Amino acid sequence: MEIGVKTDIGRVRNNNQDAYYVNYPLFIIADGMGGHKAGEVASSMAIEIIGNDFENNPIDLPYEDELIINRIEDSISKANREIYHNSIEDEDYFGMGTTVTLAYITEDKIFVGHVGDSRAYIYRQNALSQITEDHSLVEELIKNGSISKEEAKLHPQRNIITRAVGTSQQIDVDITIIAKEKDDILLLCTDGLTNMIDEDEIQKIIMLHEDIQTVCDKLVKLSNDNGGFDNITVMAIKF
């Protein structure tokens, strides 16, 4: 297994509200939102709470799908409760929240837990496929036929998300399980990447570079070259 990761403030923002966690078998990215530094607090809290939950209570072998699914849901729900509590207790953090996209890796499977509009992709046999579904306004508009995917890229409300960790008392978590295959590359990224680069460009960079850290570096550089309007975080795991 090879792991690459890169985070960058971008060219417009004053601080980096993205956060990430790498500790096999768990990988997490989070993209915070909120005024001042509230988004930075929310994403950091999510990473710390979920990471500590898995570290302090390791999942015992043999792995059972239901056990892993429950742990993912419980850990994200725990982060949701604590972030929400902080947001209503401290006016400086009012309304803060964060996306969370995580992957838990077993011998033969990838478990993806997801809330928000950060994304998980799998690169397999020279093709890039999105695993997660964005919890965003434009995704809802695409699904009901109001706009096309091309129109969504320029939609003035494309940054509005419909589900986030910490913005309400309860949270629904999407869980996806996919089989792991040799030479797969799992890519986790915040929307600072996907709003600046389309999927064909992401796929091309993966195809052109063998080294997985170089892939992350090149993706972040191209996002900045295209404007860098948001924080950018990219994590890649090659099996």
Q: What is the pLDDT of residue 166?
A: 96
Q: What is the pLDDT of residue 183?
A: 95
Is residue 93 pLDDT above 70, yes or no?
A: yes
The parent domain of residue 70 ranges over 2-238
Is residue 40 pLDDT above 70, yes or no?
A: yes
- The answer to whether 50 and 21 have CB atoms below 8 angstroms apart is yes
Alpha helices in the chain (DSSP H): 38-56, 65-89, 137-143, 149-152, 191-194, 199-208, 212-225
pLDDT, averaged across the chain: 93
Q: Which residues, 6+ apart, have CB-to-CB distance to 125 below 8 Å?
A: none
For the entire predicted model, the pTM comes to 0.94
Q: What is the pLDDT of residue 150?
A: 65
CATH of the domain at 96: 3.60.40.10
| Domains identified in the chain, total number | 1
Q: What is the pLDDT of residue 128?
A: 98
Is residue 138 pLDDT above 80, yes or no?
A: no
- Structure confidence at residue 190 as a pLDDT band (50, 70, 90): very high
